[in-house]
Structure 1
Amino acid sequence: MVQAVPQLMTLDDFLDWYPDGYGRYELWNGVVIEMQPTGTHEQVGGFLAGELFLEIRRLQLSSVIPRQAIVKPIDTDKSGYSPDVIVLDQLALDQEPLWKKRSTITQGTSVRVVIEVVSTNWRDDYGHKFIDYEALQIPEYWIVDYLGLGGRRYIGSPKQPTISVYQLVDGEYQVEQFRGSDRIISAAFPDLTLTAEQIFAAGQ
């Protein structure tokens, strides 16, 4: 996450500008940021999307995992995030005013799970995005820290690869963390049999 486009934009400007089918970008307080993930980062994200897709198909859920989507935080028209993986409630998309033309989500109730795979910008995942996803009331947020990069206040000491799954409880996120052979506990996918080490292995 290293390259920025200098001019300030609103989210509408950003969506008009966004190059269709090319690259991956986010908008942070009016500044366009080009995302430049590593190959191993993409392996982990792709593995998770594939596993969750299989679970959706097995359970015949009315959910979809888009190739790309923008999530608009509450109370700002100058930011938009592009999660590494997002699982949407297909039936709720009819109520999303920007979805069909802009592939943009404005309501947390449209999201079943949002996943960020940690890279060198880990402060964004544990900080800004955590706050904004919670404010949107997205029911489940995973932070997949497969390299153990996050601060010790987030993943403990000594630092080690950790998956933090945040669930909304009375409107606030409560976290459960998974490492090694721990099976991931997900309210959205309660029958999921994935372990933390299986996910980490995708990035090796």
Structure 2
Amino acid sequence: MIQAIPKTVTFDEFIAWYPEGSGCHYELHNGEIVEMPKPTGTHSRVAGFLIAELNLEIRRLKLPYFIPKESVIKSARDESGYEPDVIVIDGRRVAENPRWEKESIITQGSSVPLIIEVVSNNWSDDYALKLEEYEILGIAEYWIVDYLGLGRRRFIGNPKQPTVSIYQLVEGEYQVSQFRENQRIESFTFPELSLTASEIFQAGLY
């Protein structure tokens, strides 16, 4: 269960408050500091698998991208800040973020080709809150990896099943494609990626 701290703060107040080395992760949701649930073993394995696969693709194709260990995405409205499960940053454009070098803060969505969120019990944040924020920021591509099929039927269909939803920015708005079972993932950012939805879901089972 997410534990919210009932005090409205700005993004800068949140960053100044953030306790280093506490072992906990926090995000700022519409002015409220929220303690994020610790990832389960399966959640961590799925996220780790995706990081490994994307890093292999970055290296194979010599793409100008990198995946940082930690970073914070600042919302356009100065009321929220998120720590994505996976974020791919364009090394050619990272300098456009004046707070990157000292604070690992991303303020310019144009420097982020891809964000991935692996769904946990707080699935509504990924399908609603973060989806809207990433669209406003201009994040080119956003994956929601729902390996347990937790999202509502209006998000992942009926019957509910494990689904990878890929939102791609087209003329300022997200358009979604969804992948299940042995369907091959189709990504604008990594068009040669050879990976199926099932391979992602099964990564947490080994």
Q: CA deviation at 1:5?
A: 3.2
Q: Is the 8 A contact 2:2 2:122 kept in 1?
A: no
For structure 1, the residue ranges without an aligned partner over 5 or more in a row are none
User: Which residue pairs with 1:52 in the alignment?
Assistant: 54
- Residue 10 (structure 1) shift: 1.4
Encode CA deviations 1:102-121: one digit per residue, 9 max, x unaligned.
11111110101000111111
Deviation at 1:19, TM superposition (A): 2.5
Matches of residues 1-204 of structure 1 in structure 2 within 5 Å?
Answer: 2-21=2-21, 22-36=23-37, 37-74=39-76, 76-204=77-205
Q: Secondary structure at the match of 1:188?
A: coil
Q: Percent identity of the aligned residues?
A: 59
Q: TM-score, normalised by structure 2?
A: 0.94
Q: 1:29, 1:157 → 2: CA distance?
A: 31
SS in 2 for 1:91: coil
Q: Distance in 1 between matches of 2:80 and 2:2?
A: 17
**Cα deviation digits, residues 51-104 of structure 1 (max 9, x gap):** 101111111111110111111111x22210111100000111111011111111
Q: Secondary structure at the match of 1:175?
A: strand
Task: Could you tell me which runs of 5 or more consecutive residues in structure 2 were left unpaired when the two chains were aligned.
Answer: none
SS of the residue corresponding to residue 190 of structure 1 reads coil
Query: For 1:91 and 1:132, how far apart are their aligned partners in 2?
Result: 23
Secondary structure in 1 matching 2:93: helix
Once the 2 structures are TM-superposed, how far is the Cα of residue 181 of structure 1 from its aligned partner?
0.6
Give the superposition deviation at 1:7.
3.3
How high is the TM-score relative to the length of structure 1? 0.95
Paired with 1:151 and 1:83, the residues of 2 have a C-alpha distance of: 21
Distance 2:102 2:166 in 1: 31
User: What is the number of residues matched between the two proteins?
Assistant: 203
Q: Distance in 1 between matches of 2:80 and 2:151?
A: 23
